[in-house]
Amino acid sequence: MEIDKLKLRIKDSVELQRQQLTQLSLNIHDNPELGFEEEKASAWLTSYLKDSGFNVDRGIAGLATAFRATYGQGRPRVALLAEYDALPEMGHGCGHNIIATSAVGAGVASKPIIDQLGGSVVVLGTPGEESLGGKIDMVKAGAFKEIDVAMIVHPNILNMVAIQTLACSSLEVEFFGRPAHAAAQPHKGINALEAMILSFTSINSLRQHIKAEARIHGIITDGGEAPNIVPTHSAALFLIRAPDNEYLAELKDKVINCFTGASIASGARLEYRWRDRTYAPMKNNTTLAQLFSQNLESLGRHVEALDLRFGFGSTDMGNVSQVVPSIHPTISIASPGVSIHTQEFASAAASEAGHEGLMDAAKAMAMTVADILRPGMLDKIKQEFHSR
Ligand SMILES: [Zn+2]
Ligand SMILES: [Zn+2]
């Protein structure tokens, strides 16, 4: 069967799933689960894939809510990644219900391609994207060893085939002071909150002299107990982001200097821990991105020119992209005024525009699977991956 006919069949297959995919998306949206607790979502997604003829392994890579669903045996093996974790307080403000359902829809629509051209398609359930970095664990556990290409589509306000994301490390900081009556004997106290405020001020000064793409942002999680007690303990969580790992390392040292300086100035003892999951920047495979772009445009969507702009934060897909040729396109489901990680975006993720986004993402991904399995294409994709 020629490729165009195959692509028509793919689109029909996604359309045939419309009702089920939309319902699955709404079910996940209406039952938001935080990272590594996505029991309902992973159960629903895997049962849909199992019913559609996939071989399903749940709880892979030491993560209870991760899964691998495979159709076909051989290589090339193309992975379609599903995320399904929600955000605290705002449910699916990142629209991961659309990521999950477009991946399973594309997986099922890829079956005729595999039957026709050989190879296999794997829907990988990757939990805990928001700050927990589930894919980082999965990369370490070897979940991508037998994978040739990986794709994931994230809802957004524009259709973009390649986004640049930032390397990101998380930092936990604490200061320990000494209590005293804040009015009667303030000279006997050591103020852990002041140490934290000083640190924020130093970081604000540092921010004037860092690269434009880098980001440093934090929240205070403990600032003392009562205004009449000199705070003996303060704590904060910070995220440090940079366009590459080298600059991230440089910035991490500078940030720690801000905390150390505040510790010396205030007398409060500093303790800090870097969380061990560092998000890597996205290495976009442009060969793959162009295939996806053509397919998405053929569905009548305007796709932004391939232009690596910052502005998407960080994703653990970055870590996948460092080991396997990958793309992380975005699909528009909301007007440009809306920001992800908001209640408005959560509403968009359950709207008609959200459903259309999931349908088009599924179609474009499965059509791209067909392109990847064309003779010579994987070599081209891998050549680019190894040349950069
Ligand atoms: Zn997010
Ligand atoms: Zn997200």
For ligand 2, a single-atom ion, the residues with CB < 5 A are 94
Q: Using CA atoms, how far apart are residues 360 and 354, in angstroms rounded to an integer?
A: 10
Q: How far is the CA of 44 from the centre of ligand 2 (A)?
A: 20
| Residue 125 Cα distances to 51, 58, 109, 261, 348, angstroms | 16, 9, 17, 43, 23
pLDDT at position 320 is 98
pLDDT at position 164 is 85
186-197 residue pLDDT tens: 999 999 999 999
**Distance separating the N- and C-terminal Cα atoms of the chain:** 35
Tokens of 176: 């320990």
Taking every pair of C-alpha atoms in the chain, what is the biggest distance, in angstroms?
87
Ligand index nearest the alpha carbon of residue 342: 1
Q: How far is the CA of 153 from the centre of ligand 2 (A)?
A: 10
Q: Are 66 and 134 in contact (CB under 8 A)?
A: yes
Q: How far is the CA of 163 from the centre of ligand 1 (A)?
A: 14
Q: Is 133 helix (H, G, I), strand (E, B) or coil?
A: coil
Q: Is the pLDDT confidence value at 384 over 80?
A: yes
Q: How far is the CA of 92 from the centre of ligand 1 (A)?
A: 9
Q: How far is the CA of 198 from the centre of ligand 2 (A)?
A: 32
Q: Is the pLDDT confidence value at 303 over 70?
A: yes
14-63 residue pLDDT tens: 999 999 999 999 999 999 999 999 999 999 999 999 999 999 999 999 99
Q: Which of 317, 348, 376, 319 is nearest to 151 (CA)?
A: 317
285-299 residue pLDDT tens: 999 999 999 999 999
Residues 6+ apart with CB under 8 A from 261: 198, 199, 202
Ligand index nearest the alpha carbon of residue 168: 1
Ligand index nearest the alpha carbon of residue 130: 1
For residues 211-221, average pLDDT: 95
Q: How far is the CA of 201 from the centre of ligand 1 (A)?
A: 27
> Strands (DSSP E) along 187-301, which ranges?
215-222, 233-242, 269-274
Q: How far is the CA of 340 from the centre of ligand 1 (A)?
A: 7
Q: How far is the CA of 315 from the centre of ligand 2 (A)?
A: 7
Q: How far is the CA of 170 from the centre of ligand 2 (A)?
A: 17
Ligand index nearest the alpha carbon of residue 155: 2
* Surface-to-core class of residue 197, CB atoms within 10 Å of its CB (0-12 exposed, 13-18 middle, 19+ buried): middle
Q: Is the pLDDT confidence value at 241 over 90?
A: yes
Q: How far is the CA of 130 from the centre of ligand 2 (A)?
A: 7
Q: Is the pLDDT confidence value at 1 over 70?
A: no
